[in-house]
């Protein structure tokens, strides 16, 4: 297959391309020259845009959201939610420990406003699923005299795409009087967050993972009885939960992106992506039977494939694909371009691999795109074979 000059972006989990409806909504919001807190007509127009987006985003949660607090992204939402100090009306509620999955994104793992000694990592199995008996033991041993347990879990891992059993986790956390904060960044807008049974109490979402702009996110509460103490203090915006003039343009794009993502979900667009991911993995195994595909046997995001090719450094593979015009990741892209050992693989007990490559397909990826990635990997494998033979 000839090498195409056109760029092929397959790094959706790092950041989704901006959707056209989100772009339109943002361009329209740029013409609103007012502060959404101003009471004049111009201010009220800006306010209407913010509130429309708030209700669009609430729909991700079957309109059960009681609070949607806008933040500068998921990282800020995590730092807001992960705090020992919460309020219930005028009363203070104290969480004495944070329990967090060892495969979680660094914005959860770093524990927000908890201090190091009060952050307990919960192990994951070799497949990347939270070790439920270990979670049961750890949260079961929690001493509620000093405060309640706060639990933070990813809905889906940004590297492997592995989905956590949120229903079981939520039931276990409730049984031990805990509160569950779910990082829904990689799941929201790609899979229904079924709420027929409890799957969490607070949810973190980020616009740029579902076709909205970068730098805007939210903390969503399914009950407004209890809220974390504000992280960003100042004016009374966001009902006092997050000070600072709202990012009207970002919020407008976020709302429109959610609306578009939910329409795509209703059209089952992600089922087609799963077919493409399976085509990719079948082709990959045919090229390299000894490939390791992480989380292959457990439920995963339909667009994500995270794998190691024996004898080939993930960085080398990433560069080779990039030179062929294909953007993928070697692990996660959250640390200023740094490619280090994946803490997710470490958490899964994976040893002695030269990193792993993540292909995260964008909606609309077709067979020709998959074949182009496979052709590039095939050339790389052949070069590696001949280098070893020389
Ligand atoms: N949580 C997960 C699972 C992520 O993948 C990311 C970003 O990669 C974040 C949180 C952080 O999101 P943001 O870039 O909005 O701070």
Q: What pLDDT is stored for residue 56 in this prediction?
A: 96
pLDDT of 20 over the 80 cut: yes
SS3 239: helix
16, 71, 73, 105, best to mutate for ligand 1 pocket (most atoms within 8 Å of CB):
105
Between 22 and 384, name the one with better pLDDT: 22
- Ligand 1, atom 10: closest residue by C-alpha: 74
Q: What pLDDT is stored for residue 353 in this prediction?
A: 75
Q: How confident is the model at residue 336 (pLDDT cuts 50, 70, 90)?
A: very low
* Position in ligand 1 atom list of the atom nearest CA 73: 15
Q: How confident is the model at residue 337 (pLDDT cuts 50, 70, 90)?
A: low
Q: What are phi and psi of 314, to 5 degrees?
A: -60, -40
Which of the residues are catalytic? 334
Helical H runs in 141-198?
166-175
- Ligand 1, atom 13: closest residue by C-alpha: 74
Q: Please give the Cα distance from 362 to 179 (Å, whole number).
A: 33
pLDDT of 165 over the 60 cut: yes
Residues with CB under 6 A from ligand 1: 73-75, 105, 107, 154, 158, 183, 185-186, 206, 217, 334
- Ligand 1, atom 5: closest residue by C-alpha: 158
* Position in ligand 1 atom list of the atom nearest CA 104: 3
Domains and CATH numbers, the chain: 8-17+268-389 (3.90.1150.10), 20-264 (3.40.640.10)
CA of 37 to the centre of ligand 1 (A): 28
Give the angle subtended at the CA of 72 by the CAs of 32 and 335, to the nearest 5°: 135
CA of 390 to the centre of ligand 1 (A): 43
* Position in ligand 1 atom list of the atom nearest CA 208: 15
15, 75, 210, best to mutate for ligand 1 pocket (most atoms within 8 Å of CB):
75
pLDDT of 334 over the 50 cut: no
Which distant-in-sequence residues (6+ apart) come within 8 Å of 145 by Cβ? Answer: none
CA of 118 to the centre of ligand 1 (A): 23
Q: What pLDDT is stored for residue 340 in this prediction?
A: 65
Give the start-end residues of each E strand in the chain.
8-9, 67-71, 85-88, 91-101, 119-122, 148-154, 179-183, 202-206, 217-221, 226-228, 292-293, 304-308, 326-327, 357-360
CA of 281 to the centre of ligand 1 (A): 25
The mean pLDDT value of the chain amounts to 94
CA of 174 to the centre of ligand 1 (A): 26
Q: Exposed e or buried b for every residue in 162-171, given b needs 16+ CB within 10 A?
A: bbbbbeebbe
* Position in ligand 1 atom list of the atom nearest CA 206: 15
Q: Please give the Cα distance from 15 to 207 (Å, whole number).
A: 9
Which of 348, 332, 353, 76 has the alpha carbon at shortest distance from 215? Answer: 76
77, 81, 185, best to mutate for ligand 1 pocket (most atoms within 8 Å of CB):
185
Cβ neighbourhood burial of 339 (10 Å; 0-12, 13-18, 19+): middle
Which distant-in-sequence residues (6+ apart) come within 8 Å of 326 by Cβ? Answer: 7, 8, 10, 372, 373, 376
What tokens does 319 get?
Answer: 């560069």
81, 186, 188, 300, best to mutate for ligand 1 pocket (most atoms within 8 Å of CB):
186
Q: Please give the Cα distance from 10 to 373 (Å, whole number).
A: 9
Which of 332, 280, 324, 286 has the alpha carbon at shortest distance from 303? Answer: 280
* Position in ligand 1 atom list of the atom nearest CA 186: 3
* Position in ligand 1 atom list of the atom nearest CA 77: 16
* Model pLDDT for residues 208-250, shown as the tens digit of each residue: 999 999 999 999 999 889 999 999 999 999 999 999 999 999 9
Q: How confident is the model at residue 194 (pLDDT cuts 50, 70, 90)?
A: confident
SS3 148: strand
CA of 105 to the centre of ligand 1 (A): 7
Q: Please give the Cα distance from 225 to 40 (Å, whole number).
A: 31
* Model pLDDT for residues 81-124, shown as the tens digit of each residue: 999 999 999 999 999 999 999 999 999 999 999 999 999 999 99
Residue for token pair 């929690």: 142
**% of the chain beyond a pLDDT of 70:** 96
Q: How confident is the model at residue 354 (pLDDT cuts 50, 70, 90)?
A: confident
CA of 157 to the centre of ligand 1 (A): 10
């Amino acid at each position: 297959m000839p090498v195409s000059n056109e760029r092929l972006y397959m790094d959706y989990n790092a950041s989704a391309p901006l959707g056209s409806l989100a772009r339109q909504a943002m361009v329209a919001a740029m013409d609103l020259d007012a502060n959404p807190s101003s009471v004049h007509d111009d201010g009220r127009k800006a306010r209407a845009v913010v509130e429309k987006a708030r209700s669009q985003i609430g729909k991700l949660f079957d309109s059960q959201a009681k609070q949607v607090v806008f933040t500068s992204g998921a990282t800020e939402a995590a730092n807001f939610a992960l705090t020992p100090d919460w309020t219930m009306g005028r009363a203070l509620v104290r969480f004495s420990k944070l329990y967090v999955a060892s495969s979680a994104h660094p914005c959860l793992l770093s524990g927000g406003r908890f201090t190091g000694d009060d952050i307990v990592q919960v192990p994951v199995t070799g497949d990347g699923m939270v070790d439920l008996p270990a979670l049961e033991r750890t949260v079961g041993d929690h001493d509620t005299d000093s405060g309640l347990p706060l639990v933070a879990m990813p809905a889906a891992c940004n590297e492997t795409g592995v989905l956590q059993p949120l229903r079981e986790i939520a039931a276990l956390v409730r049984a031990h009087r805990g509160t569950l904060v779910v990082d829904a960044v990689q799941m929201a807008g790609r899979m229904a967050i079924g709420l027929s049974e409890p799957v969490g109490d607070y949810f973190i979402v980020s616009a740029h993972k579902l076709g909205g702009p970068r730098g805007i996110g939210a903390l969503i509460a399914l009950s407004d009885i209890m809220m974390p103490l504000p992280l960003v203090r100042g004016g009374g915006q966001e009902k006092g939960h997050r000070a600072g003039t709202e990012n009207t343009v970002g919020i407008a794009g976020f709302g429109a992106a959610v609306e578009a993502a939910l329409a795509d979900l209703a059209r089952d667009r992600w089922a087609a992506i799963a077919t493409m991911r399976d085509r990719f993995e079948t082709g990959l195994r045919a090229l390299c039977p000894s490939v390791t595909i992480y989380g292959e046997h457990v439920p995963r995001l339909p667009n994500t494939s995270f794998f190691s090719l024996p004898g080939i450094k993930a960085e080398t593979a990433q560069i080779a694909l990039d030179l062929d015009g294909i953007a993928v990741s070697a692990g996660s892209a959250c640390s200023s371009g740094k490619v280090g050992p994946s803490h997710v693989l470490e958490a899964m007990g994976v040893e002695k691999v030269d990193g792993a490559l993540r292909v995260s397909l964008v909606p609309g990826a077709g067979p020709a795109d998959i074949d182009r990635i496979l052709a590039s990997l095939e050339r790389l494998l052949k070069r590696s074979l001949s280098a070893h033979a020389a």
